[in-house]
Amino acid sequence: MKGISFATATRRDLEHCVEIMMDSILGEEYFSRELAVALIAQGISRKEITAARGPEGEMLGFFRLVLDGVFLVFAYVHLFAVKSSHRGIGIGSQLLAEAERQIRKEESYPDIKKSFLLVGKLNRKAKAFYEKHGYTRIATMHDLFSKGDTEFLMMKELALGKIKAAKA
Ligand SMILES: CC(C)(COP(=O)(O)OP(=O)(O)OC[C@H]1O[C@@H](n2cnc3c(N)ncnc32)[C@H](O)[C@@H]1OP(=O)(O)O)[C@@H](O)C(=O)NCCC(=O)NCCS
């Protein structure tokens, strides 16, 4: 989809993020509205949420990125969702590319940049989406968020930009 822009989410975006999240498998399987509000509000206050907006400024999706969310040094993409009416037209792909751009540009140890995320075993569509974008399953975790819940830990090693690669 053309005309998408990205920006750090603010308090004004809270309700839109919550609506998008509750109208997805994340709201159906993992989070109550109360918990969604708390997590997104925390992400906004830490400037960890990036919102994708359409040409009219309407929010179409978001992700939360914690740059040191894995082993205190690697990036963790948490809460990733596209508005249900706008899925399948490339917004998720653009959001993921934006998350990876933010990870690559971070000047921190180590130089090698990796992106991690979790996807539920039952969320086949999202797993296929991540695989198509170069993520591979590196671990399977049983009973992670609740008894009977199986989550796949997925990872992608990100190629560095030319300038960073030359410095490394
Ligand atoms: C998973 C999710 C984020 C993907 O976002 P999306 O915007 O639908 O993703 P994209 O449109 O970029 O890609 C999805 C599909 O649309 C296709 N597509 C991409 N660009 C397209 C375009 N311009 N026109 C038509 N189709 C397109 C892709 O080929 C892909 O097809 P696939 O069915 O073979 O995978 C979205 O489905 C979602 O929000 N799901 C609910 C929440 C969720 O599960 N989050 C992940 C938690 S771990």
C-alpha 165 to ligand 1 mean position (Å)? 30
For ligand 1, whether the C-beta of 51 sits within 6 Å is no
- The sheet carrying 59-70 orders its strands as 5-8, 49-53, 59-70, 74-82, 113-120, 150-158, 136-142
Is 31:39 a contact under the CB 8 Å cutoff?
Answer: yes
Query: From atom 10 of ligand 1, which residue's Cα is the shortest distance away?
Result: 90
Token look-up 């921190």 returns 108
User: Residue 161's pLDDT is what?
Assistant: 67
Of all protein residues, the one whose alpha carbon is nearest to atom 16 of ligand 1 is 88
Q: Is the CB of 92 under 6 A from ligand 1?
A: yes
Residue range(s) defining the domain that contains residue 123:
5-167
CATH number where 22 lies: 3.40.630.30
Tokens of 21: 């999240």
- Closest atom of ligand 1 to 79 CA is 47
HEC profile of the chain: CCCCEEEECCHHHHHHHHHHHHCCHHHHHHCCHHHHHHHHHHHHHCCCEEEEECCCCCEEEEEEEEEEEECCCEEEEEEEEECHHHCCCCHHHHHHHHHHHHHHHCCCCCCCEEEEEEEECCCHHHHHHHHHCCCEEEEEEECCCCCCCEEEEEEEEECCCHHHHHHC
**Overall pTM > 0.75:** yes
User: What atom of ligand 1 comes closest to residue 118's alpha carbon?
Assistant: 48
Based on the structure, what is the number of domains in the chain? 1
Instruction: Divide the 168 residues of the chain into consecutive groups of 10 and give the mean pLDDT of each group.
Output: 94 97 94 96 98 96 98 96 97 98 93 96 96 98 96 94 67
Which atom, in ligand 1's list, is nearest to the CA of 21? Answer: 42
Tell me which residue has tokens 């990205």: 6
Q: How far is the CA of 86 from the centre of ligand 1 (A)?
A: 9
Test site for ligand 1: of 129, 152, 156, most ligand atoms within 8 A of the Cβ: 129
